[in-house]
Structure 1
Amino acid sequence: MENFDVVIIGAGASGLFCAAQAGYRGRKVLVLDHANKAGKKILMSGGGRCNFTNLDAAPKHFLSANPHFCISALKRYTPNDFVELVDRHGLEYVEKAPGQYFCQHSAKDLLNILLTECEWSGSEIRLDTSIKTIAKQEQGFHLLTSQGEIQCESLVVASGGLSIPTLGASGYGHQVAEQFGLKVLPRRASLVPITIQPTMKEKLSTLSGVSVEIEASANGMSFKEPMLFTHRGISGPAILQISNFWQPGDELQLNLLPDLDPEAHFKALRNDKPKRALETELNSLLPKRLVEVIKQDLPWMSKPMAELSNDNLAELIQYLTHFDVQPNGTEGYRTAEVTLGGIDTNEVSSKTFECNSVKGLYFIGEVLDVTGFLGGYNFQFAWSSGFAAGQFV
């Protein structure tokens, strides 16, 4: 039987960060993970370069049944605090979009910082270790693992969500919560590509790999970012963002001309350049392959502007601002970046992340019902929640 002050389940972003914080407080810490490598999701995120924070991280960028829950942690450990940490380690990073920081070279550089922090703090990491049972004891917890029995005073569940099962994701953290009688809210794939109906998929097949700036809207939310056509449907930042708000059966509006007042633009064009073909104008506004597809539905696009009636223009504007791809679902957890929903935050202290009803049991990171928008917000919540719990375990 081995004894530790703190056992953390999950060697991902929040778990590793929490381990370092607790270790620096002099706690004897063990991190357990069933995977054969730590930080697998860190390594693949952001195209292998990991969007590790967003300077604009604020409660408005997170979805939760309790929108106030994340405020305390985000205030106590801010994006600037994490940037200061990686600066001390000499991480080279770039700001791809305002406030969005990515590793300049590889996410491995960031993972190495976390592993170094764990090493410096004296925290131990054990991989290829599955947990068979967890039992509450008078003075903490007893774990039966594939590597033997372990006792600890504090148990931290940082096992993530259901996203990307090929990397080892599972619902284990939610099962632990349910074992101890905690409420787990409905979960679904989040920040995920949207699939489209077979006939439309065939029609748009020539567009795979084409990217276009759009405004995607659903259920009162809108995002103006690029959309990417894929061989399964649509993806890219705009689609991943709106997938948090759109569900099958809901209306999905895709505006292909988000920066134009199309009615004013095309009427002015008809007056100023009557001989210009509409198709030529669209080729200057949209990718050529996309214009070819639009032409299948609007064959009169080859006409000069002067020959287009107001009804033609109205049809064109409706088509371009409500581009219908016939969405039918999402790619699910297989490619989702995170999991929406999870352990009800009312079960957990927003200050310490300790379970209200089970002393010594903590939940941090994605396993909780806190989901950030695309852009580094989910990693920032991992650091903030890991830091907060690390001060108390």
Structure 2
Amino acid sequence: MTSTTTSTVERAFEAALYAADADSALDTGASVLAADPAADAELARRGREFVAAAWRRGWQPADVVRIVRRELDDVHVHLVSALIREQVPDDRPRGPRWTAQLESLPGSGEAPPRTDRFSHATAVLELYRLLLRLPSLEPLDDLSDHGSGGRSTGKARPESRMLTRIRALLAKAEATGFPEEAEALTAKAQELTARHSIDEALLGARATAKDAPGACRIGVEPPYEQAKAVLLDAVADANHCRSVWNEPLAFSTVVGFEADLEVVELLYASLLVQAQTAMTKAEAAQRAGGRRRTKSFRQSFLAAYAHRIGIRLAAAAETQVTDDLLPVLATREVAVTAEADRMFPETTTTRLRGVTDAAGWTEGAEAADRAQVGARPRLPRPS
């Protein structure tokens, strides 16, 4: 690195990132970079610094990719994914959830799209400008291997046989074209989910080193993000977790024990797919009847779906626990609530907006009923 290349990057940044009217100066900054190939290495190094700064502000790889995809274009997603990979050797050890996010970065093994130097420099500056302006988030503690003295190994624990079965059942429920089969598969997945959560709770209670709640962020993307956030909250609550929605940044933070976080992610994703499938069929039926579907229909449909799923999940959860399990689950509930309150000492509630279509509400409620999350046989008492 020479003073000349540093000067080139600084001049480009001064024009494109720090100027009061950065949009009008973006071309200037890109032109400066395009004219000096020797500055490429310094430009990349500064990009890795921006990524490291995002980690210090509480962001994680999936969060950064999600907001870049939302605010910019595919070329920027490719650029930031490459930067994140390049920054890994300079980073400290992280937990297994972080490692899984790195492994899921888009564009792995793909050749970068070909472009001219000016276009590439423009895209890089647009990306850096977004990274520079990311706000601070509540830090999520890395999940640790408690058997290694509290230090994270960065290795994900092997997926349990039960979780593998849940994943397979939900995949089949999403893929089938027969509503009755989807209902039966989802019901079975719900039953296994409850068993999985309680088994993990009992293991944690008997372990010498106590498990502790963690947290993850789940994207809640437009459109109809408010109804989706309500659905995620219902799924989280039924699975002994707490969910806090960040509307401006399009995600919810879910706090809970790792086993419960895993099933919340799975179940929420599956219910969204099933809701979308049901909504598409309902719209087709309405169009066949001569009524044109609108945004208000979809908003009302998903709001009713989320509301009804919440009621049924809560009712189903009450049937799954024997008296012997109550102290164990109560202890974990207290721990989750305390962690959520620590992370988010100030929260507000909001009302669902745009629920004005009666047909959409009726169809959504009926679709939630078909999701089949009713009462199931009690789980066996612990030995």
The normalised TM-score by structure 1 is: 0.23
Name which structure has the greater RCO, CA cutoff 8 Å, separation 6+.
1
The normalised TM-score by structure 2 is: 0.24
